[in-house]
Amino acid sequence: MTMRPATSEMKNLLEEIYSRLLNEFGHRNWWPGETRDEVIIGAILTQNVSWQNVEKAISYLKRSGLLTLEAIHRTDTAEIASLIKPTRFYNMKARKLRNFSDWLFITYGGDLDLMFQCHTGKLRQEMLAIGGLGEETVDSILLYAGNRKVFVVDAYTARIFSRLGIAGKKWRYADYQEFFIKHLDDDIALYNDYHAQIVRLGIQYCKKTTPECEKCPLNSICEFPLVPTR
DNA sequence: GTCCAGGGCCTAC
DNA sequence: GTAGGCCATGGA
Protein backbone atom coordinates (compact mmCIF):
# COMPACT_ATOMS: atom_id res chain seq x y z
CA MET A 1 0.00 0.00 0.00
CA THR A 2 1.43 3.35 -1.06
CA MET A 3 1.47 6.13 1.48
CA ARG A 4 -0.23 9.32 0.47
CA PRO A 5 1.53 12.58 1.31
CA ALA A 6 0.81 14.30 4.63
CA THR A 7 -1.91 16.93 4.70
CA SER A 8 0.35 19.95 4.21
CA GLU A 9 2.10 18.30 1.27
CA MET A 10 -1.24 17.42 -0.25
CA LYS A 11 -2.39 21.03 0.08
CA ASN A 12 0.73 22.10 -1.76
CA LEU A 13 0.15 19.49 -4.45
CA LEU A 14 -3.44 20.66 -5.01
CA GLU A 15 -2.18 24.25 -5.21
CA GLU A 16 0.46 23.19 -7.73
CA ILE A 17 -2.16 21.40 -9.84
CA TYR A 18 -4.47 24.42 -9.78
CA SER A 19 -1.63 26.75 -10.62
CA ARG A 20 -0.73 24.69 -13.68
CA LEU A 21 -4.35 24.52 -14.86
CA LEU A 22 -4.93 28.23 -14.31
CA ASN A 23 -1.76 29.02 -16.23
CA GLU A 24 -2.85 26.73 -19.10
CA PHE A 25 -6.52 27.64 -19.38
CA GLY A 26 -7.04 30.94 -17.51
CA HIS A 27 -10.06 31.56 -15.24
CA ARG A 28 -13.01 29.59 -16.53
CA ASN A 29 -15.72 31.98 -15.30
CA TRP A 30 -18.21 29.18 -14.68
CA TRP A 31 -21.05 28.19 -14.96
CA PRO A 32 -21.83 28.94 -18.62
CA GLY A 33 -25.31 30.47 -18.40
CA GLU A 34 -26.87 33.90 -18.07
CA THR A 35 -29.48 33.18 -15.38
CA ARG A 36 -29.88 30.85 -12.40
CA ASP A 37 -32.70 29.11 -14.28
CA GLU A 38 -30.34 28.47 -17.18
CA VAL A 39 -27.63 27.14 -14.86
CA ILE A 40 -30.06 24.69 -13.27
CA ILE A 41 -31.50 23.58 -16.60
CA GLY A 42 -27.99 23.15 -17.99
CA ALA A 43 -26.89 21.13 -14.95
CA ILE A 44 -29.68 18.63 -15.59
CA LEU A 45 -29.22 18.54 -19.36
CA THR A 46 -25.47 17.94 -19.19
CA GLN A 47 -25.85 14.58 -17.46
CA ASN A 48 -23.66 12.16 -19.43
CA VAL A 49 -23.45 14.32 -22.53
CA SER A 50 -20.99 16.84 -23.94
CA TRP A 51 -21.69 20.53 -23.34
CA GLN A 52 -21.79 21.09 -27.09
CA ASN A 53 -25.01 19.09 -27.24
CA VAL A 54 -26.41 20.96 -24.24
CA GLU A 55 -25.79 24.33 -25.90
CA LYS A 56 -27.89 23.23 -28.83
CA ALA A 57 -30.78 22.17 -26.59
CA ILE A 58 -30.53 25.39 -24.57
CA SER A 59 -30.76 27.46 -27.74
CA TYR A 60 -33.88 25.51 -28.78
CA LEU A 61 -35.48 26.06 -25.38
CA LYS A 62 -34.62 29.76 -25.48
CA ARG A 63 -36.02 30.15 -28.98
CA SER A 64 -39.28 28.59 -27.75
CA GLY A 65 -39.42 30.75 -24.63
CA LEU A 66 -38.90 27.71 -22.40
CA LEU A 67 -35.56 28.57 -20.83
CA THR A 68 -37.11 29.35 -17.45
CA LEU A 69 -38.25 27.03 -14.70
CA GLU A 70 -41.62 28.76 -14.68
CA ALA A 71 -42.12 28.02 -18.39
CA ILE A 72 -40.99 24.42 -17.93
CA HIS A 73 -43.39 24.06 -15.00
CA ARG A 74 -46.37 24.79 -17.25
CA THR A 75 -45.17 22.90 -20.35
CA ASP A 76 -45.92 19.32 -21.31
CA THR A 77 -42.96 16.96 -21.04
CA ALA A 78 -43.45 15.82 -24.65
CA GLU A 79 -42.88 19.36 -25.90
CA ILE A 80 -39.83 19.81 -23.68
CA ALA A 81 -38.46 16.45 -24.84
CA SER A 82 -38.79 17.42 -28.50
CA LEU A 83 -36.59 20.48 -27.89
CA ILE A 84 -33.82 18.78 -25.90
CA LYS A 85 -33.20 15.78 -28.17
CA PRO A 86 -29.50 16.64 -28.71
CA THR A 87 -28.82 15.91 -25.03
CA ARG A 88 -29.64 12.16 -25.30
CA PHE A 89 -32.09 10.50 -22.91
CA TYR A 90 -34.43 13.36 -23.74
CA ASN A 91 -37.60 11.78 -22.39
CA MET A 92 -35.91 11.11 -19.06
CA LYS A 93 -34.43 14.59 -18.95
CA ALA A 94 -37.73 16.27 -19.83
CA ARG A 95 -39.26 14.51 -16.82
CA LYS A 96 -36.31 15.56 -14.65
CA LEU A 97 -36.74 19.21 -15.66
CA ARG A 98 -40.44 19.01 -14.85
CA ASN A 99 -39.73 17.18 -11.58
CA PHE A 100 -37.44 19.99 -10.48
CA SER A 101 -39.68 22.86 -11.58
CA ASP A 102 -42.80 21.22 -10.16
CA TRP A 103 -41.00 20.70 -6.84
CA LEU A 104 -39.79 24.32 -6.87
CA PHE A 105 -43.32 25.66 -7.39
CA ILE A 106 -44.97 23.31 -4.91
CA THR A 107 -42.35 23.81 -2.20
CA TYR A 108 -41.15 27.38 -2.70
CA GLY A 109 -43.83 28.93 -4.91
CA GLY A 110 -41.32 28.99 -7.77
CA ASP A 111 -39.09 31.41 -5.87
CA LEU A 112 -35.37 30.57 -6.20
CA ASP A 113 -34.46 33.31 -3.69
CA LEU A 114 -36.68 31.64 -1.13
CA MET A 115 -35.30 28.20 -2.02
CA PHE A 116 -31.70 29.33 -1.64
CA GLN A 117 -32.45 30.78 1.79
CA CYS A 118 -32.49 27.19 3.05
CA HIS A 119 -29.58 25.63 4.92
CA THR A 120 -27.24 24.02 2.37
CA GLY A 121 -27.42 20.52 3.86
CA LYS A 122 -31.20 20.59 4.08
CA LEU A 123 -31.55 21.88 0.53
CA ARG A 124 -29.13 19.23 -0.75
CA GLN A 125 -31.21 16.45 0.81
CA GLU A 126 -34.43 17.94 -0.55
CA MET A 127 -33.08 18.12 -4.09
CA LEU A 128 -31.67 14.59 -3.94
CA ALA A 129 -35.16 13.41 -2.99
CA ILE A 130 -36.80 14.98 -6.07
CA GLY A 131 -35.72 12.11 -8.29
CA GLY A 132 -33.48 12.28 -11.34
CA LEU A 133 -30.92 14.53 -9.68
CA GLY A 134 -27.90 12.80 -8.19
CA GLU A 135 -25.06 14.23 -6.13
CA GLU A 136 -23.15 15.84 -8.99
CA THR A 137 -26.18 17.61 -10.42
CA VAL A 138 -27.40 18.81 -7.03
CA ASP A 139 -23.95 20.03 -6.01
CA SER A 140 -23.55 21.85 -9.34
CA ILE A 141 -26.84 23.64 -8.69
CA LEU A 142 -25.80 24.51 -5.13
CA LEU A 143 -22.39 25.86 -6.17
CA TYR A 144 -23.06 27.48 -9.52
CA ALA A 145 -26.66 28.67 -9.10
CA GLY A 146 -26.73 29.11 -5.32
CA ASN A 147 -23.15 30.22 -4.66
CA ARG A 148 -22.85 27.63 -1.88
CA LYS A 149 -19.48 26.31 -0.81
CA VAL A 150 -19.89 22.77 -2.16
CA PHE A 151 -17.22 20.93 -4.14
CA VAL A 152 -18.53 19.27 -7.30
CA VAL A 153 -17.15 15.85 -8.22
CA ASP A 154 -17.57 14.38 -11.69
CA ALA A 155 -16.18 11.62 -13.88
CA TYR A 156 -13.19 13.78 -14.85
CA THR A 157 -12.37 14.43 -11.21
CA ALA A 158 -12.27 10.72 -10.47
CA ARG A 159 -10.32 9.85 -13.60
CA ILE A 160 -7.75 12.62 -13.29
CA PHE A 161 -7.08 12.19 -9.57
CA SER A 162 -6.91 8.42 -9.92
CA ARG A 163 -4.38 8.75 -12.72
CA LEU A 164 -2.42 11.29 -10.68
CA GLY A 165 -2.10 8.56 -8.05
CA ILE A 166 -3.90 10.68 -5.45
CA ALA A 167 -7.32 9.06 -5.20
CA GLY A 168 -7.81 5.62 -3.68
CA LYS A 169 -9.21 2.88 -5.91
CA LYS A 170 -12.40 2.58 -3.88
CA TRP A 171 -13.08 6.27 -3.41
CA ARG A 172 -16.71 7.20 -3.91
CA TYR A 173 -18.34 10.59 -4.45
CA ALA A 174 -18.27 11.55 -0.77
CA ASP A 175 -14.62 10.50 -0.46
CA TYR A 176 -13.55 12.83 -3.26
CA GLN A 177 -15.64 15.64 -1.83
CA GLU A 178 -14.18 15.20 1.64
CA PHE A 179 -10.67 15.18 0.18
CA PHE A 180 -11.06 18.51 -1.61
CA ILE A 181 -12.82 20.17 1.34
CA LYS A 182 -9.98 19.05 3.61
CA HIS A 183 -7.17 20.26 1.40
CA LEU A 184 -8.48 23.33 -0.42
CA ASP A 185 -8.66 26.84 1.00
CA ASP A 186 -12.07 27.79 2.36
CA ASP A 187 -12.99 29.80 -0.71
CA ILE A 188 -16.12 29.51 -2.88
CA ALA A 189 -14.42 31.14 -5.85
CA LEU A 190 -11.70 28.47 -5.67
CA TYR A 191 -14.27 25.65 -5.44
CA ASN A 192 -15.97 27.14 -8.46
CA ASP A 193 -12.90 27.45 -10.65
CA TYR A 194 -11.12 24.29 -9.50
CA HIS A 195 -13.93 22.05 -10.73
CA ALA A 196 -14.20 24.05 -13.94
CA GLN A 197 -10.46 23.62 -14.55
CA ILE A 198 -10.72 19.87 -13.96
CA VAL A 199 -13.45 19.58 -16.58
CA ARG A 200 -11.45 21.70 -19.01
CA LEU A 201 -8.40 19.48 -18.56
CA GLY A 202 -10.48 16.33 -18.88
CA ILE A 203 -12.08 17.38 -22.13
CA GLN A 204 -8.80 18.14 -23.84
CA TYR A 205 -6.20 15.85 -22.29
CA CYS A 206 -7.68 13.19 -20.05
CA LYS A 207 -10.17 11.31 -22.18
CA LYS A 208 -11.23 7.86 -21.08
CA THR A 209 -9.36 5.70 -23.59
CA THR A 210 -7.25 8.15 -25.58
CA PRO A 211 -5.55 10.55 -23.15
CA GLU A 212 -3.01 12.97 -24.62
CA CYS A 213 -0.49 12.89 -21.82
CA GLU A 214 2.42 14.36 -23.76
CA LYS A 215 0.98 17.88 -23.85
CA CYS A 216 -0.99 17.65 -20.60
CA PRO A 217 0.06 20.34 -18.10
CA LEU A 218 -0.01 17.71 -15.32
CA ASN A 219 2.10 15.18 -17.23
CA SER A 220 5.26 15.64 -15.17
CA ILE A 221 3.43 14.97 -11.88
CA CYS A 222 1.12 12.21 -13.13
CA GLU A 223 1.61 8.49 -12.60
CA PHE A 224 -0.61 7.48 -15.50
CA PRO A 225 1.89 7.78 -18.38
CA LEU A 226 4.33 5.64 -16.38
CA VAL A 227 1.82 3.06 -15.16
CA PRO A 228 -1.10 2.92 -17.57
CA THR A 229 -4.06 1.08 -16.08
CA ARG A 230 -5.72 0.33 -19.37
C1' DG B 1 -18.48 2.45 -38.94
C1' DT B 2 -16.75 3.16 -33.93
C1' DC B 3 -16.20 5.58 -29.77
C1' DC B 4 -17.73 8.28 -26.16
C1' DA B 5 -19.43 12.54 -23.85
C1' DG B 6 -19.44 17.44 -17.38
C1' DG B 7 -25.29 10.87 -14.71
C1' DG B 8 -28.76 8.57 -12.40
C1' DC B 9 -31.73 4.74 -11.55
C1' DC B 10 -32.99 0.02 -11.26
C1' DT B 11 -32.18 -4.85 -11.12
C1' DA B 12 -29.70 -8.98 -10.29
C1' DC B 13 -26.23 -11.48 -7.98
C1' DG C 1 -22.12 -3.29 -2.26
C1' DT C 2 -21.56 -3.47 -6.88
C1' DA C 3 -21.45 -4.60 -11.72
C1' DG C 4 -24.26 -4.04 -15.67
C1' DG C 5 -28.19 -2.48 -18.42
C1' DC C 6 -31.13 1.27 -19.69
C1' DC C 7 -31.97 5.91 -21.47
C1' DA C 8 -31.05 6.68 -27.00
C1' DT C 9 -28.02 12.21 -29.93
C1' DG C 10 -24.24 14.03 -32.31
C1' DG C 11 -19.44 15.14 -33.23
C1' DA C 12 -14.73 13.49 -33.96
Write the pLDDT tens digit of every residue in A135-151.
999 999 999 999 999 99
CA neighbor of A36 nearest in space, from A127, A190, A118, A140: A140
Same-domain check for residues A50 and A140: yes
Q: How far apart are CA A220 and CA A215, in angstroms?
A: 10
Q: What CA–CA distances, in Å, run from A25 to A11, A12, A21, A194, A197?
A: 21, 20, 6, 11, 7
Give pLDDT, residue A150: 98
Question: What parts of chain A have a pLDDT lower than 70?
Answer: 1-3, 226-230
pLDDT of residue A39: 98
Q: What residue numbers bound the domain in which A198 lies?
A: 7-29+152-221
* Distance between CA atoms of residues A16 and A98, nearest Å: 42
Nucleic acid strand B: bases within 7 A of protein CB:
3-10
DSSP assignment of A58-69, as one string? HHHHHHTT--SH
What's the CA–C1' distance between A184 and B6, in Å?
A: 21
Q: Where does a domain end: A145, A177, A209?
A: A145
**What was the pLDDT predicted at A226?**
65
Q: Answer whether any strand C atom is within 7 A of the Cβ of A204.
A: no
Please tell me which residue lies nearest to nucleotide B9, judged from CA to C1'.
A132
State residue A227's pLDDT score.
52
Confirm if A61 and A26 have CB atoms less than 8 A apart.
Answer: no
Tell me what pLDDT residue A229 has.
42
The CA–C1' separation of A193 and C1, in angstroms, is 33
Q: Which nucleotide is nearest to A53 (CA to C1')?
A: C10
| Closest-approach nucleotide to residue A208, Cα vs C1' | B4
Rounded, the Å distance between the CA of A63 and C1' of C3 is 41
- Asked if residue A224 lies in contact with residue A211, where contact means CB atoms within 8 angstroms, the answer is yes
Rounded to whole angstroms, the distance from the CA of residue A204 to the C1' of nucleotide C7 is: 26
Contact of A46 with A97, CB cutoff 8 Å: no
| Cα torsion through A202, A200, A69, A96, rounded to 10 | 0
Please count the structural domains in chain A.
2
Round to whole Å and give the CA distance between A115 and A101: 12
Among the three residues A111, A145, A179, which one is the final residue of a domain in this structure?
A145
CATH number at residue A130: 1.10.340.30
Read off the pLDDT of residues A159-189 as tens digits, 9 standing for 90 and up. Answer: 999 999 999 989 999 999 999 999 999 999 9
